[in-house]
Amino acid sequence: MNSIQLRIWRGDDSSGQYHDYKTEVDDGMVVLDAVHKVQAEQAPDLAVRWNCKAGKCGSCSAEVNGMPRLMCMTRLNTLPTDAPITIEPIRAFPRVRDLVTDVSWNFRKKLTIKPFTPRKPDFPDGEFKMQQEDIERVQEHRKCIECFLCQNVCHVLRDHHKHDEFIGPRLLVYSAALELHPADTADRLKSLKDEHGAGYCNITKCCTVVCPEHIKITDNAIIPLKERIVDEYYDPLKVVLRVLGVRR
């Protein structure tokens, strides 16, 4: 047991401030354990969103000492103990209370993306014939646990608040998984270009850095989508053909 100091932001969307708590911690504890301890012993109404406590559900996103992290996967012994540990809510979304933010925008925005639209199954029982090599990239993108840390650090959302024009890295990963699915038939490129703001991303790769699932968001999802869009809409020959009405 040793004693640590937590500096937790408490308040709502209109106002708030940091509160200091001192608590005893055990070997191997993570930040979320310490927050729970404070909640159980000192501040029962301290609001924090969490579920699985194993890095699988993506509920407990926060900024720990300024770094966007899952609190359940951040061990206390990886943080300096000579200063208080600062814990704040993520910043790209409205604050509800204390560490909880209103992430419902992500759910609403997902609805604007064309869902999976399968071709006819290859086997009469309904299965597709797909080789493991051909789905590995899709599976990488489907590892996403929707913690929204990537959305949180994307400057287009965090600093420029382009929530109306840009869907952010999470939903670009979602789109990429659909676009790369061998059995999908829908075309999302036009909407990605026009409504979903794929062009806003200027490849700073902040999202990739914070992804707890280590998805190569920029390299494997966003850049391939951008390339497809460029190829489809900005290839001079294709532009001419489209003007002539030969292509849609």
- Where do contacts with other proteins occur on this chain (CB under 8 A)? 12, 26-30, 33, 39-40, 44-59, 73, 75, 96-98, 100, 102-104, 107, 110-111, 115-116, 118, 121-123, 125-132, 135, 138-139, 142-143, 145-146, 174, 178, 181, 184
In terms of CB distance, is 132 or 202 closer to other proteins? 132
DSSP output for 217-237: IIIIIIHHHHHHHHHHHT-HH
In terms of CB distance, is 21 or 174 closer to other proteins? 174
Least distance to other proteins from the beta carbon of 66, Å?
A: 20
- How do strand 85-88 and strand 61-64 relate by DSSP bridges? antiparallel
> How many Å apart are CA 227 and CA 221, to the nearest integer?
10
Least distance to other proteins from the beta carbon of 124, Å?
A: 10
> How many Å apart are CA 150 and CA 157, to the nearest integer?
10
Least distance to other proteins from the beta carbon of 94, Å?
A: 11
Least distance to other proteins from the beta carbon of 238, Å?
A: 29
In terms of CB distance, is 33 or 63 closer to other proteins? 33
In terms of CB distance, is 29 or 209 closer to other proteins? 29
> How many Å apart are CA 105 and CA 215, to the nearest integer?
22
> Which two three-digit tokens encode residue 231?
């190829």
DSSP output for 88-151: E--SSS-EEETTEE--HHHHHHHTTSPPP-B---SSTTS-----HHHHHHHHHHHT-----HHH
Least distance to other proteins from the beta carbon of 206, Å?
A: 21
